[in-house]
Structures are given as structure tokens and as C-alpha cells.
């Protein structure tokens, strides 16, 4: 399978790229608004993988080209830019592709982080509204710490929650999540349930900020 990480030059994109490149045989495509930046980052990820004994090719492209060439497209961009990014690649996504949203709308004041969903109700719903009609949208990876994922020495032991309306697409993304060593995927409902999942992220960041040694806090459900 080919996985495109749009905005894969940033934190969560890098983290997922490194884990999938290390733990699976899927082809990893880094997307960026600037193809040269994507190629540079892809080279850096290859070097990092090489340093842990993993020889893998990671390719960099403009977001549009990365989306065009992939089966699964992860929107690893800040929440406020997700809609623009979907619109930029909309005519490159086929019906069979899966669009994955890990993005969370948040703002920060003197009290900490707060959940700030878009008018659609959640970023995942915003993506579903912006995506071409027959492209399935799945929300996943919201509650993971990019730093923890990007540190390949760390054993994860974490859950990620997956929401979506298309059962096959949810299954595809859940399997991709579980192919990352130490990550368990739990289904958490439909696209309409995404706000419940996304709203956990500011909670986790506040816990991380308020408690020593919890910088990379994540969740497991028992």
C-alpha cells in the first residue's frame, strides 16, 4: 500500500512516517506545499531510519502529487489549514482512496489548551464535508504524542481511536495503525463521534503540562 502524509514535513507526519517505514513494507510518501522541502525531509527520515539499522526509501513530493500516487492520504497539517489542503488535492483523490484526519482544533490561553472545533462539529466532519463525495474519511491518530512516536527507542503501548462511516475504510486505517508496533486501534464510532475523540487531545496536553514526567502522555483503555 502507498501512504501519503500531506504536511509530512511536520511533527505528526514525521512520527507516522518513521514508524510505518520501520514497522511495515508500505511505501511512504512525504507531501509538502514545497516539493523540495518534502524531498529534504524524506532524505532526513531515511538517514534517521538508517541510524537504527533500517534501510528504507522515503520519497518526497508536492502534496498534490503525493495524494495522486497514494491509496491512503493522511492530512498531517494544522487544523486551520485542513480544508485548504483537502481542496488542493481533491481532484487527485479517487473514490477508492481513504482520507485520514488526525487534526484537532485547539486554542490556548493562560489556563491551558481548550478544544475549539470548527463549525462542522469536528475537524473530521469538516474534512468529510470538504472531501469529494465518494471518498471515505476516517479520523485517527489524534491522541498520540508526535515526540513519543518519533523516538524509535520508545515502546509505545498506546491506543488510538478510529472513527468513520465507511466500515472498510475504518478497517484499513485500524489495520495500518496496528501495524505500528505497540499501537492498538479501537473503534470509537462514526464521523459524527469525532468530536468526542478530538476533544481528548487538549486534555492530554494539559495533563502533560501540569505533571512532571508526563510530557508524552497517551491513553490506553482497559
Ligand X SMILES: NC(=O)c1ccc[n+]([C@@H]2O[C@H](COP(=O)([O-])OP(=O)(O)OC[C@H]3O[C@@H](n4cnc5c(N)ncnc54)[C@H](OP(=O)(O)O)[C@@H]3O)[C@@H](O)[C@H]2O)c1
Q: What is the torsional sign of CA 197, 14, 51, 42?
A: positive
Among 32, 124, 172, 193, binds ligand X (CB under 6 A): 32
Among 144, 161, 163, 169, binds ligand X (CB under 6 A): 144
Phi-psi region for residue 130, left (φ > 0), alpha (ψ -120 to 50) or beta?
Answer: alpha
Size of the site for ligand X (CB under 6 A): 25
- When asked if residue 84 is in the footprint of ligand X (CB under 6 A), the reply is yes
Identify the CA nearest to 162 among candidates 124, 180, 188, 123. Answer: 188
- Per DSSP, the residues of 187-213 read E---GGGHHHHHTHHHHHHHHHHHSTT
- When asked if residue 103 is in the footprint of ligand X (CB under 6 A), the reply is yes
Q: What does the per-residue mask of binding to ligand X show for 60-79, with x meaning CB under 6 A?
A: ----------------xxxx
Least distance to ligand X from the beta carbon of 37, Å? 5
Q: Rule CB under 6 A: which residues touch ligand X?
A: 7, 9-13, 32-34, 37, 76-79, 81, 84-85, 102-104, 141-142, 144-146
Amino acid at each position: 500500500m502507498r501512504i501519503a502524509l500531506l504536511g509530512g514535513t511536520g511533527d505528526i507526519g514525521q512520527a507516522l512516517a518513521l514508524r510505518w517505514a520501520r514497522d511495515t513494507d508500505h511505501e511512504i510518501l512525504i507531501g509538502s506545499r514545497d516539493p523540495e522541502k518534502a524531498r529534504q525531509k524524506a532524505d532526513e527520515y531515511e538517514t534517521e531510519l538508517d541510524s537504527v539499522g533500517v534501510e528504507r526509501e522515503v520519497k518526497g513530493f508536492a502534496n498534490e502529487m503525493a495524494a495522486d500516487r497514494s491509496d491512503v492520504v493522511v492530512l498531517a497539517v494544522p487544523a486551520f489549514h485542513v480544508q485548504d489542503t483537502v481542496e488542493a488535492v481533491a481532484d487527485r483523490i479517487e473514490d477508492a482512496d481513504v482520507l485520514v484526519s488526525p487534526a484537532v482544533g485547539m486554542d490556548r490561553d493562560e489556563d491551558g489548551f481548550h478544544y475549539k472545533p470548527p463549525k462542522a462539529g469536528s475537524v473530521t466532519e469538516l474534512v468529510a464535508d470538504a472531501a469529494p463525495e465518494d471518498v471515505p474519511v476516517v479520523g485517527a491518530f489524534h491522541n498520540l504524542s508526535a515526540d513519543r512516536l518519533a523516538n524509535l527507542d520508545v515502546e509505545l503501548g498506546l491506543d488510538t481511536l478510529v472513527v468513520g462511516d465507511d466500515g472498510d475504510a475504518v478497517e484499513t486505517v485500524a489495520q495500518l495503525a496496528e501495524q505500528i508496533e505497540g499501537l492498538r486501534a479501537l473503534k470509537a464510532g462514526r464521523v459524527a463521534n469525532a468530536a468526542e475523540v478530538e476533544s481528548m487531545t487538549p486534555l492530554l496536553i494539559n495533563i502533560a503540562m501540569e505533571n512532571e514526567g508526563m510530557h508524552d502522555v497517551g491513553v490506553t483503555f482497559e
